[in-house]
Each structure stands twice: as structure tokens, then as C-alpha cells.
A and B are shown apart, each in its own frame.
Chain A
């Protein structure tokens, strides 16, 4: 009907000028704003489709419409929510102060572009947090004292006990406050005859060092080359050429960069 406001053929001009014959108008509900009206509209439409015979109330078309309307309403609510806005601004500021992700210039006057987070060493450290390198990530983030066992061309060289500041995908480490206990590399045939150093033997020596310390027999404490102090632990049963063990040396290093291909094993230290 031309005069029915609910119909598609409603002619508002005609309705305004026809004083008589006004159809019964259902008292309309008063809403606060358009968003609430839209929400209720979707609900009424849903009910209308349900009552209609032959129409599937769960048809995709109907649900999509209501979902997009719901989304729009949600976005409006978010936009109008001042506290949420403040939170978002705080989060943005926090992200700009962070080490790892470097964002482009913060001038937001330009159009909003999807900013790619810069890939650098710290972001790659975060990426390695899941997987086999997760222990390294744990050690660096929790500042745990760790034992790094190193190798020379034949067998174990020694152990570095200290804090790992930074690591990377190749297991290169930047270590701080390190105590290194190591043996000199054997020359020539000695390698076949001498007793091989193992992780267990090294751990035993470390325990001895932690209990009794290391005697500094060098006259000049500020030695340039830092060759290391020899550790005396128990009597030397036989010379290395006849099946004895090579002597161990000990030294303290403040800052080292350790290349990953020398590393055999990394574990967390007990002491």
C-alpha cells in the first residue's frame, strides 16, 4: 500500500498530504542511536525470516548480513569507548620503546600502512625461542649461569662457565664473566696415548675448583696473553705419553665472543 510506511511502495509525499485514511501505525520503539537500531533491525529480520515458510532461517545470506552489521556495531562501540582508545595509545607507545621491533617514523599524519617489523638479531633470538634453541633463549632471558663445552680437533677442549648475553642461529655466543677450564691441544702422537678428557671428568674438576679455588701462581696478575693457570688436582699418575691425562688450565674472561662451531654442549650450571 502506498500509505503503509512499512511497505516498499511507501510514498511519503502522498502520506503527508492525505489527512484522511492513515493506516494504523505500530508505535515505534525509541532507540538511543543508529547502532542499537541496527542491532534490533537484524533481530526483527531474523524473526521475520523464521516465520516465513520455505525460507531457511540459517541461510548464509541472512547470517552474513547480521554478522557484518554486528561487526559494524562492535567497531562503533570500540571507537566510542574512550578508555580502550587510551589503552591502544599506551600500547603503541610501549611498542615504540621496545628494543627488538623497530618501526618506521611515528608520524601518523600519513596514510596507515602495514609496517613490517624490522628483522634483526634480537627478533631472530625470539624466533628461536621455540624449538631446539629454546634452552639458549631460556638461559639468556633468565640470566642463568651456563656451562658451554668446547672442542678442539680431537675430543673435548674444555668448558666455559659464565653468562650468555646474546646467541644466534649458529650458536655463536657473546658471554660475560666467564671462567674457562681447558686443556692444551695435544701435538702429534700424544693424542693417541693420553687419556681423553670427558664431560664427567670435567665436571669433577669444576666441582674441585668451586670448592678449593684456583691458586694464582703467576707473578704478574695482569698477564697480556692470559694463558691460564694450571690446576693441580691429585697426583699425576703417569705422564701423558704413557696414558695419563693432560693438565688442565683455568682462566677468567670478562667478555668473549664464542664461535658456534667450537661448541659441543650447553647446559645450565648448578652453582
Chain B
């Protein structure tokens, strides 16, 4: 999924892991421009850019905006309020276990033969 090596590195070695672990959870994002976004985290990339579904944006004036899909740039995030039941350390460990299962490469049977010989 990650486009570059740097992104893959960030996805494993920075706190972005915690956001990736939060996929499909309802979160609240407080942005640097004093607006609050509530929505379900669809996807998070290696840099921390977020894609939310069924989002409600409340700006500093109090005005609300509802959208089906919303993309939030990582640099505009100030806080991300995680769900109460989440334990950060456990969530990160579970995410590592998940990504290890996904990322171990499976050798196609054709090449396996040549390696053994």
C-alpha cells in the first residue's frame, strides 16, 4: 500500500502506527485551525494523512458540515481523540502482529523450485 520506502519506514517506526491501528474506529480530530472533525477512520497512510467516512466538521464559529468522505492532511492535525476503550501500547503491538502477517512475502511455487536446486 505504501508508495515509497520512506512511507513504509514511517508506518513502522513512528506513532502513525497508532493511527493505522485505529482504522474503522470512530475518532475525533482536532485541527490546527480550531475545527473539530468527527468521523470513522477509513484509512491512514504512512505520513499520518487521514481519510474519514461520514464525517462532521465543526469549525471555530460553530458551523457544521457533513460529508461522506473527507481527507485530512497530516500537518493540519493537532490532536486525535482515540476511543476510550483503546490501550495505545496494546493497539500498537496488535498492529505490528497484523502487519507482519501481511508483509511476509510468499514465494511463488515456480521460483521456489529454482531456489532449492
Of the residues A153, A166, A184, contact of B15 by C-beta under 8 Å:
A166
CA distance A226 to B30 in the complex (A): 11
Instruction: Kindly state whether residue B75 has any CB partner on chain A within 8 Å.
Output: yes
Q: Give min CB distance, B35 to chain A, whole Å.
A: 11
Q: Give min CB distance, A169 to chain B, whole Å.
A: 7
CA distance A195 to B20 in the complex (A): 40
Of the residues B14, B75, B88, contact of A255 by C-beta under 8 Å:
B88
The segment out of A19-27, A82-90, A170-178, A211-219 that lies at the interface is A170-178
Instruction: Kindly state whether residue B82 has any CB partner on chain A within 8 Å.
Output: yes
Interface size class of B (residues with CB under 8 A): 20 to 34
Chain B contact residues, majority secondary structure: mixed
Q: Give min CB distance, A265 to chain B, whole Å.
A: 16
CA distance A184 to B35 in the complex (A): 11
Which A residues touch B77, using CB under 8 A? 259
* Residue on B nearest A104 in the bound complex, by CB: B104
Q: Does B13 contact A124, Cβ atoms closer than 8 Å?
A: yes
Instruction: Kindly state whether residue B55 has any CB partner on chain A within 8 Å.
Output: no
Q: Give min CB distance, A214 to chain B, whole Å.
A: 19
* Residue on B nearest A227 in the bound complex, by CB: B36
Which A residues touch B32, using CB under 8 A? 152-153, 262
CA distance A107 to B34 in the complex (A): 54
Given contacts A166-B89, A170-B15, A262-B32, 8 further A-B contacts (CB under 8 A): A120-B12, A153-B32, A165-B88, A165-B89, A253-B79, A255-B83, A257-B18, A262-B78
B residues with a Cβ closer than 8 A to A are 12-19, 32, 34, 36, 38, 48, 58, 60, 74-75, 77-84, 86, 88-89, 92-93, 96, 100
